[in-house]
Amino acid sequence: MPRYIVRLHLIIPLLAALAPVEAFAEGKVLQRVETYAVRGTTGLELYRSIGEHGPVLGASRAIAHTGFRLTWKRDYQQRGAACVLASAIPTLVITTVLPEAKGRLPQALKRSWDIFLAGVTAHEAVHAGYIRDLARDIEKATVGLTEPNDPGCRKIRQTMQPILGALSTAERRKQRDFDKESFADGGQVHQLILALVNGP
């Protein structure tokens, strides 16, 4: 396999976006990190192990993944004939799955692995940021929403659905575009992979 000389431009605030609990409006964000085991004595072996054990996304496996569960405590208030969403308190649970190298690694490989893992962690932190943005955008777009003739506050829930759908679609598009850029030739994750595979 040809060797590549690559320059890594990494932003490594290693777990800056992976704090255990973060205040969020009146709700909260819980961030969790799970790991899966990979083994190898070379960068190529570790990367192959990622391909065998990484989280399954669709028909393939990923290096890492960030998913979430978002629930809301919403206060719908009847004001005359109108219904108003007076408040919406979120609970957001973000789970990031990362590879963990098992076994003792040669010193040079450990350095290479640590750079790779830090870069992947930084990449997933961006995904987590998009998820937090989604929750904030939902809060901004829906709190104060009023349905003028809605006794029983039934119509307002239907009114919210296209708003929520559009915000969710926009978030998924940002996530896809970010991955496409990162995995393209010369992208951040592409460079990380080349450095790991062609390193010690």
Tens of pLDDT, residues 22-32: 445 567 899 99
Q: Looking at the predicted structure, is the pLDDT value of residue 33 above 60?
A: yes
How far, in Å, CA of 179 to CA of 187, rounded?
Answer: 9
Residue 32 burial (C-beta neighbours within 10 Å; 0-12, 13-18, 19+): exposed
Residue 26: the pLDDT is 65
pTM here is 0.84
Residue 48: the pLDDT is 96
Closest Cα partner for 113 from 44, 52, 60?
Answer: 44
Which token pair is 13? 């605030």
Closest Cα partner for 25 from 78, 94, 72, 61?
Answer: 72
φ/ψ of residue 32, rounded to 5: -125, 145
The residue type at 17? A
Residue 60: the pLDDT is 87
Q: How confident is the model at residue 197 (pLDDT cuts 50, 70, 90)?
A: very high
Q: Round the average pLDDT of the chain to a whole number and report it.
A: 88
CB 90 within 8 A of CB 103: no
**Ranges assigned E (strand) in the chain:** 21-24, 27-38, 56-57, 60-61, 65-79, 82-101, 146-147
Q: Looking at the predicted structure, is the pLDDT value of residue 19 above 50?
A: no
Q: Looking at the predicted structure, is the pLDDT value of residue 71 above 90?
A: yes
Residue 200: the pLDDT is 66
pLDDT (tens digit per residue) in 116-145: 999 999 999 999 999 999 999 999 999 999
